[in-house]
Amino acid sequence: MYLSKWLIIIFFFPLIIIPLVYGIINPKNSFLLGRRWQFKNEVEPTEFVLDMHKLFCIAMLIVVIIILFLLIIS
């Protein structure tokens, strides 16, 4: 049980945290990641959409950090 907790922390949390940080730093590219093929022309998301995407990334990063903290202290 002890080893599996640390394996989860080492392998899965970086896979979650890195895209969230990228979404905070560069919201325009992360918002369209994997969906550029759907559009013929260059798509320009509105500032509201980019702000909501950044806010969601910040909120999810806080949730992941809380879960990580609870996992460590348990």
Residue 1: per-residue pLDDT: 61
Domain that holds residue 41: 2-73
Residue 64: per-residue pLDDT: 92
pLDDT band for position 8 (50/70/90)? Answer: confident
∠ CA 27-55-20, nearest 5°, is 55
Residue 44: per-residue pLDDT: 84
- pTM, entire model: 0.80
Both tokens of 21, joined, read 């940080």
Residue 34: per-residue pLDDT: 77
* Domain count across the chain: 1
- Quick check: 9 and 71 in contact, CB under 8 A? yes
